[in-house]
Chain A
């Protein structure tokens, strides 16, 4: 039998942001949350993701409006810097909050 508190927790889990919840994207968003901005190379080094994998996840985050991709040049080398948008930052804060809420209230 489920208690009302438990069903609240389960409801909180159902509301989890799935765009962030995916482990690879969670790593990317968490990293960008603590940084101002970083390029693909740095993110790849820190997360250990391959170029293609990283690119696919970043595209999804960009489509969701969570990550801003700034293409430019450093000297003559093309450089793509990534930063979390205000929406992405808010979404990550909300994600942390709802995960904490949901998991803290679950019985041992």
Chain B
């Protein structure tokens, strides 16, 4: 043997190989593209139900594509694996942290609705431009940090770059009031994902079926 048998490295390599199909990139990039529809709604509110319906349909399609592709394309080629107790613990910790992110997001949303409500007695004394920067920063932090935390727990290295692009996409879309940054960020995440996915399909043909 030319190298020591490093069991931790062996496990890490096996774990990381599960994310090498590009599907997370496609999912997160697609999600960002679809979410940009929410920010494309004109100030007048014209066509709002159509934009909302399209965005929700898009989110459903992107999510279904991710789940079905994992099940019918990746797993038959990559195989099925269950990792040890340590990974299970990390999975549960991640679930708790993501639950916390959802709660924080909901709290921020509810607080924003309360402040914007005409009857609210809270005066943040912010100029409209300051308010926009605040909302942009909070959205960018929630989107970027949650993706980076997922990437850390899943040892998904590309996720750090995706998290940064998501944060930038959210920040500049809200701050500049244009969907271009979000579409650009989505495309920069989605396109490499597609290339990785095609390479994955080339490198992992379907194995013989078990009998």
The DSSP consensus for interface residues of chain B is: mixed
The DSSP consensus for interface residues of chain A is: helix
B84 & A42 in contact (Cβ 8 Å cutoff)? no
Q: How many residues of B contact A (CB 8 A)?
A: 25
Q: With the chains together, A81 CA to B75 CA distance in Å?
A: 13
Does A101 belong to the interface (CB within 8 Å)? no
Chain A residues whose C-beta falls within 8 Å of the C-beta of B84 in the assembled complex: 34-36
A30-B5, A30-B7, A42-B80 in contact; A35/B14 too (CB < 8 A)? yes
A37 & B17 in contact (Cβ 8 Å cutoff)? no
A51 & B81 in contact (Cβ 8 Å cutoff)? no
Which residue in chain A gives the minimum CB-CB distance to B5?
A30
Q: With the chains together, A39 CA to B82 CA distance in Å?
A: 9
Q: With the chains together, A32 CA to B5 CA distance in Å?
A: 14
Known: A45-B77, A51-B208. 13 other contacts (CB 8 A): A30-B7, A30-B10, A31-B10, A34-B8, A35-B11, A35-B84, A36-B82, A38-B81, A41-B77, A41-B78, A41-B79, A42-B78, A44-B79
Partner-A contacts on B (CB < 8 A): 1, 5, 7-8, 10-11, 13-14, 17, 76-85, 204, 207-211
Partner-B contacts on A (CB < 8 A): 23, 26, 30-31, 33-46, 51, 74, 77-81, 96
